[in-house]
Structure 1
Amino acid sequence: MHTSAASPLLQLDGVQIAYGGIHAVKGIDIELYRGELVSLIGANGAGKTTTLNTIAGILPLAGGEIVYQGEKLRYLPAHKRLRRGIALVPEGRGIFTRLTVEENLRMGAYSRRDAAGIEADLERVYAMLPRVKERLAQVAGTLSGGEQQMLAIGRALLSRPKLLLLDEPSMGLAPLVVEKIFEVVQSVAKEGVTILLVEQNANLALEFSQRAYVMESGRITLSGTGAELLTDPKVRAAYLGEIDVVA
């Protein structure tokens, strides 16, 4: 956990995002400290994916600032953010379906020039994701949903991220596969990668996260530790499927 003296790795300060005439995000403040796993939960359409895409540089800022390692990111393009250590695993995985598994992984390292470091990182990813290693020569589009999600995470790790943005990693996957994906997410966090997780399964997200933010209609309405929000009556009623909570 962070100390008050530490400065945030990532800070969203009054961030506003608009596209297609819609004001999707309306002035949010978020802080992430090094080594934290923080989740962003909320209903569909709350602005969660929009927020991740804006941090990654895919969508522009309409107001406020995004500060990463003390640097304002407003005018920094997506590929330069990736080089500075910000990697996004998008909703729907975004793998290259016609390339092999190994080619997909190596695409994650496309901006790197350290051949020995890339090979070492591939071995680390293989150790963490043995199912992916078994399928290196397979065309990625023929993998199961869970294997594609693991591949997408592995590819992001090949960019050597300091900050990993994970968008709906459990979407459409069977419970046992989801459990495996979250074990991988935990392993990545233990290696010191800071993670901002958007996840529809609020229960799971809060269980795994040190801290969390609740987003409603483009605003942050609640924040706290994962444990605090798990027991918050409002959160339980809105996101954990419980109507009445008995104290």
Structure 2
Amino acid sequence: MHTNPAAPLLQVQGLQIAYGGIQAVKGIDFELYAGELVCLIGANGAGKTTTLNAIAGVLPTTGGDILYAGERINPVPAHKRLRRGIALVPEGRGIFTRLTVEENLRMGAYTRRDRDGIEADLEKVYAMLPRVKERLPQVAGTLSGGEQQMVAIGRALLSRPRLLLLDEPSMGLAPLVVEKIFEVVQSVAKEGVTILLVEQNANLALEFAQRGYVMESGKVTLTGSGSELLANPKVRAAYLGEAA
């Protein structure tokens, strides 16, 4: 099958998601092209995490389509999406607190059988995350929040993702640690991984992202390049704490 290189890697069309009778996502459209870093910003409860979980296959959709590499993946279960290259770093990190750091990282490669490739990817992750390398034998639950976040990103990278879904990577972390996390996100993007980032810190997200989508109560209300959205008075008033 010939795929158009200009076709989006991810296309979300008319996506609807409902929770216990409440429509959390109300027919949104957006797309990501290979190699892009795109962010979803918006207030709490706007539907951002819900959208990410639906793309990862963790939540069922109630309407619309999710197309990945040109194929509709709505019926594909989460573990098969992971095998196809969609990895989620969930909000709150979701690491295995009782396993060591190294065991956590290796869990990321559980769908793979290429032992040499896994070892090579581990070395890459160690080079990108030296703090994580220093902590390999440590039980992951004893790490600081920032270190746990790095382990969660490292674990996702071990699945060799084409599309990395990052949910609130800066949540609850000190500003200096957040800076470090975003440097890591940038290094991952430079490796050619496509990234969809959900981030409460709109200022930071838009500074790093090529494009952004603003979500408000289940709908996409604005879209533009990172710099356009940063300069938009509405965005500045709503998310960057400035007077309109």
- Aligned counterparts, 1:17-166, within 5 A: 17-166=17-166
- 2: CA distance, partners of 1:72 / 1:135: 40
- 1: CA distance, partners of 2:53 / 2:106: 22
Deviations 1:33-74 (A, max 9, x none): 000000000000000000000000000110000000011011
- 2: CA distance, partners of 1:13 / 1:7: 14
Equivalent position of 2:13 in the other structure: 13
Deviation at 1:5, TM superposition (A): 7.0
Structure 2 residue 199 is matched with structure 1 residue 199: yes
How many residue pairs get matched? 241
Deviations 1:144-172 (A, max 9, x none): 00000000000000000000000000000
Deviation at 1:224, TM superposition (A): 0.3
- Aligned counterparts, 1:195-234, within 5 A: 195-234=195-234
- Give the letter aligned to residue 233 of structure 2: P
- 2: CA distance, partners of 1:24 / 1:135: 39
Q: 1:59 to 1:105 in 2, by over 3 A?
A: same
Q: Secondary structure at the match of 2:53?
A: helix
- 2: CA distance, partners of 1:33 / 1:181: 23
Deviation at 1:19, TM superposition (A): 1.4
- Give the letter aligned to residue 127 of structure 2: A
**Unaligned stretches of 5+ in structure 2?**
none
- Give the letter aligned to residue 60 of structure 1: P
RMSD: 0.9
- 2: CA distance, partners of 1:20 / 1:58: 16
Deviations 1:222-246 (A, max 9, x none): 00000000000000000000014xx
Question: TM-score when scaled to structure 1?
Answer: 0.97
- 2: CA distance, partners of 1:36 / 1:169: 18
Q: Secondary structure at the match of 1:64?
A: strand
- 1: CA distance, partners of 2:103 / 2:71: 32
- 1: CA distance, partners of 2:121 / 2:241: 40
- 2: CA distance, partners of 1:207 / 1:158: 27
Deviation at 1:20, TM superposition (A): 1.1
* Displaced runs of 4 or more, over 2 A: none
- 1: CA distance, partners of 2:201 / 2:136: 30
